[in-house]
């Protein structure tokens, strides 16, 4: 039995991970530490809070004393670190929070963990698993080989630079102090509970409301999409089988240009509306509700500054050393995600403060070129 502390466990991947872990490891104790920024939502943990072996703590990873007490009092032996500022556009508008949480916050956790786990010149059994991103490797040309663990770091946005900084700190705590760390660098995730500022949920929800679908630049930037459940599988394997000090690239072998993803969502939603007349009453402003093509909402807008052209992951090491393989195809993953958003309208209305329309106008209206 393990005692896990999951930071950022009320955010998109964190919520999926704690649900994944509890289902497969019911005897493990899980503590979630999350400061509930705009991206964190305690309601996403409904059904877990109040159950045996699960606790939610509302707190900030930068509070080193508090984190030290949690690790010590609860006998935490596995710390899974997901808490972060995670949205590239926000890092361009305001980088400070990214340095504070992603760099200073990660160091705060490392300090606290070392203080508790290293006493009398000995390390207690432990694992510090750091969840990071493929964006630390920079941008690929279309004919470049995919990123792997040997690719030199070349972060381009304040977000990716802050994640790179955190990766280096984690590595340094292993190299210098002997802390048992593992890091996963993963590609773009999608799935239920993702805050609707990221491409896939944004496009889904805007389509339902008949709102423009903003495509940055020429829409040909490529991402390597992975269903969040496959990321959770990779994280669990890295914790259980990964060697201390190692990093593992996790991806879906599923590259696609943004415009293709957006058109696919438009088409799949159109098919849902055709098959289920109730959707037209629920979302009358969706073009498909009046028999039109959802693609009419596609709107090309100004490009993201410094927009990375292509990300792609070569997961060979994770596959050969951990036995990692993604199980969801993009077709099944996106169908599952559309189902989730259609079934969980109260969730996405609540995370946008119940004022979804104002929020979307404020945040995306200005981007129209």
Count of positions on this chain that bind ligand NAD (CB under 6 A): 31
Does 23 participate in catalysis according to the annotation?
A: no
Is residue 221 part of the contact set for ligand DAU (CB under 6 A)?
yes
Among residues 137, 159, 193, 311, the one annotated as catalytic is: 159
- Convert residues 56-95 into a mask of x (bound to ligand DAU by CB under 6 A) and - (unbound): ------------------------------xxx-------
How far apart are alpha carbons 20 and 235 in whole angstroms?
A: 11
**Looking only at residues 194 through 223 of this chain, which bind ligand NAD when binding is defined by CB under 6 A?**
195
The β-bridge partners of 249 are: 185
Is residue 317 part of the contact set for ligand DAU (CB under 6 A)?
no
Secondary structure string (H, E, C) spanning 239-280: HHHCCCCEEEEECCCCEEEHHHHHHHHHHHHHHHHHHCHHHH
The option from ligand DAU, ligand NAD, none interacting with 209 (CB < 5 to 8 A, set by class) reads none
The option from ligand DAU, ligand NAD, none interacting with 201 (CB < 5 to 8 A, set by class) reads none
Candidates 5, 18, 34, 265: give the one binding ligand NAD (CB under 6 A): 34
Does 159 participate in catalysis according to the annotation?
A: yes
CB of 357 to ligand DAU, least distance (A): 16
Closest CA to 342 of 255, 257, 276, 262: 276
The option from ligand DAU, ligand NAD, none interacting with 91 (CB < 5 to 8 A, set by class) reads none
Q: Which residues lie closer than 8 Å to 329 by C-beta, 6 or more apart?
A: 254
CB of 285 to ligand NAD, least distance (A): 27
Q: Which residues lie closer than 8 Å to 27 by C-beta, 6 or more apart?
A: 1, 53
If one counts every other C-beta atom within 10 angstroms of the C-beta of residue 296, the result is: 12
Is residue 148 part of the contact set for ligand DAU (CB under 6 A)?
no
How far apart are alpha carbons 130 and 192 in whole angstroms?
A: 22
Helices and strands of the chain, counted as H and E runs: 14, 15
Q: Residue 79 CA to chain centroid, in angstroms?
A: 17
Q: Which of the residues are catalytic?
A: 134-135, 159
Binding site for ligand DAU (CB under 6 A): 86-88, 133-135, 187-188, 198-199, 202, 214-216, 221, 223, 258, 304, 311
């Amino acid at each position: 039995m393990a005692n896990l502390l999951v930071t950022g466990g009320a955010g998109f991947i964190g919520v999926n991970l704690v649900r994944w872990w509890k289902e497969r490891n019911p005897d493990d104790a899980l503590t979630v530490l999350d400061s509930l920024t705009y991206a964190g939502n305690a309601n996403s943990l409904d059904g877990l809070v109040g159950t045996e072996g699960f606790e939610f703590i509302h707190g900030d990873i930068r509070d080193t004393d508090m984190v030290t007490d949690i690790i010590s009092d609860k006998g935490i032996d596995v710390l899974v670190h997901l808490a972060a500022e995670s949205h590239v556009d926000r890092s361009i508008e305001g980088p400070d929070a990214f340095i504070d949480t992603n760099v200073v916050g990660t160091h705060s956790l490392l300090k606290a963990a070392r203080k508790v786990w290293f006493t009398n010149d000995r390390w207690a059994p432990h694992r510090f698993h750091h969840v990071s991103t493929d964006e630390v490797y920079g941008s690929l040309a279309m004919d470049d080989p995919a990123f792997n663990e040997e690719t030199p770091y070349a972060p381009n946005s304040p977000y990716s630079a802050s994640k790179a900084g955190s990766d280096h700190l984690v590595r340094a705590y292993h190299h210098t102090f002997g802390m048992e760390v593992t890091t996963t660098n993963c590609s773009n995730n999608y799935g239920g509970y993702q805050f609707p500022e990221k491409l896939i949920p944004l496009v889904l929800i805007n389509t339902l409301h008949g709102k423009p679908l903003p495509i940055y630049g020429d829409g040909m930037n490529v991402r390597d999409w992975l269903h969040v459940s496959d990321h959770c599988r990779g994280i669990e394997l890295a914790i259980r089988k990964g060697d201390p000090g190692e990093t593992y690239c996790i991806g879906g072998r599923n590259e696609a240009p943004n415009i293709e993803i957006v058109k696919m969502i438009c088409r799949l939603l159109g098919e849902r509306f055709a098959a289920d007349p109730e959707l037209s009453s629920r979302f009358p402003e969706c073009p498909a509700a009046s028999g039109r093509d959802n693609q009419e909402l596609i709107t090309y807008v100004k490009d993201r500054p410094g927009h990375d052209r292509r990300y792609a992951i070569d997961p060979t090491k994770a596959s050969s050393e951990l036995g990692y393989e993604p199980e969801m195809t993009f077709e099944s993953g996106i169908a599952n995600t559309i189902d989730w958003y259609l079934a969980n309208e109260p969730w996405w209305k609540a995370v946008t403060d119940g004022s979804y329309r104002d929020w979307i106008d404020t945040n995306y209206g200005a981007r129209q070129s």
